[in-house]
Structures are given as structure tokens and as C-alpha cells.
A and B are shown apart, each in its own frame.
Chain A
Amino acid sequence: GESVGLHLPTLSVQEGDNSIINCAYSNSASDYFIWYKQESGKGPQFIIDIRSNMDKRQGQRVTVLLNKTVKHLSLQIAATQPGDSAVYFCAENGAAGNKLTFGGGTRVLVKP
């Protein structure tokens, strides 16, 4: 069936460096994508979203890039901080009824 997946399960990054988290999706009908951050023992926290009519969207220290040609989504975190250590999930909302399909998650570890 349709799925959303991630390339890297764990990403170690030096504090202050930029982080890039990648996500591949297979549902070509998906038109809305979201990145969530999940800290240990907590629910997912919304980071940023993007619609399929856009290629790029920027937030505070975060940028989401969407490449519809290759069905690829990425999250860039600028100047990564210790508080950014968490698991990051991409999700797509291509199914009816606002159902979200989550990717497998990438753990980001920020080294001081």
C-alpha cells in the first residue's frame, strides 16, 4: 500500500551545524505534508507543513523542501541546538478524512 518512509534512522549532528532530515513518500496523490517533532514520552509536536503547490516553505530555523518529481520531502534545521534532539516524523495527508500516514522517524542527536 501507500507509505511514507525515511532514509536515515539516526542523525548525529554537531551543535551549531545544520541538520537535514529526508523523507520519501509513495502516494502521488498526497497534497499536504507535515513534519512533527517528538520528544521522549511526549506526543508529536507540529513543526512545519507544506502543500503540494509549493516547493519550499520556511519557518523559524526550519525549512521544508518538497520535490514532487521524485516524491521527496526534507526538513532542514539551521544552527541545530541541544533542544532539537528528538525523533522527527514526516507525515502525509493524502487519504480521505484527514488521516495522516507517518514515516518511520529519524532520531536526531545533537552533540555539544
Chain B
Amino acid sequence: GAVVSQHPSRVICKSGTSVKIECRSLDFQATTMFWYRQFPKQSLMLMATSNEGSKATYEQGVEKDKFLINHASLTLSTLTVTSAHPEDSSFYICSATDRGNEKLFFGSGTQLSVL
């Protein structure tokens, strides 16, 4: 199956700093990428949808100025958590799909810990 690479796998940062998470499709062109957030023992919650070359669409309740998403190429999307606070600590997961394919492929996730 298609491979989605996500980096870093784990990051610890100080409160007030910004953190960038990368999501890459390695062997296919990802026209659409999704970013999810997952708290311990809970399900995945969709944060936003990013389409290559256009602005991301955010789900209700997700602050677009805090969670900056860039999808500048067909193989790369980034999520930047700006001015991170302890409540932003979570597991962030990206997924990607290629044209016309409903099946989503997920990255390995990024565990963010804000001190």
C-alpha cells in the first residue's frame, strides 16, 4: 500500500514556542491530506482538510490561526502548532489520499508534549 511518512514522531517543546509537523506521501501524489488529533484512549478527531495549492478547511472549533496548515506540493503538507500550550499536548496524525481514491493512508503520528 501507499506510504505516508510523518515527522517528527515525538517532540517536546516549551510553552509559547511553535512546532512544525511534516506529512509526506512517499509513492503517490496526495491531492488531499487530513490532519487529526487524538487524546489518550480517545478516537481520532478531524482538525482540517488540506488540498494542494489551496487554503485548508478547518473543522468547527479548530483555530486556524493556531494550527497553520500548508499543502504547497502534492507530496507534502505541514501542520504548525503556533504558541503551543500544555493543552495542545496530543497525538497528531496525518492522512493522505490520491486522486479519486477513497482509501486513506495514515502517517505514524506525532506525539506533542508541551511543557
Contact = CB atoms under 8 A, between A and B. Distances in A.
Range, interface on chain A:
20 to 34
B43 A45 contact: no
B1 interface: yes
A1 to B, nearest CB: 10
Interface in B76-113: 91, 93, 95, 97, 102-109, 111
Interface of B is mostly: strand
Residue with the greatest number of chain B CB neighbours at <10 A, chosen from A32, A89, A100, A103: A100
Interface string A37-76: 0000111111001000000000000000000000000000
Q: How large is the interface on B (under 10, 10 to 19, 20 to 34, 35 or more residues)?
A: 20 to 34
B44 A44 contact: yes
B104 A100 contact: yes
A18 to B, nearest CB: 24
A105 B91 CA distance: 15
Interface of B: 1, 4, 6, 32, 34, 42-46, 49, 57, 91, 93, 95, 97, 102-109, 111
Nearest 8 pairs of A and B residues by beta carbon: A43-B106, A43-B109, A102-B43, A102-B44, A44-B106, A43-B108, A43-B93, A104-B43
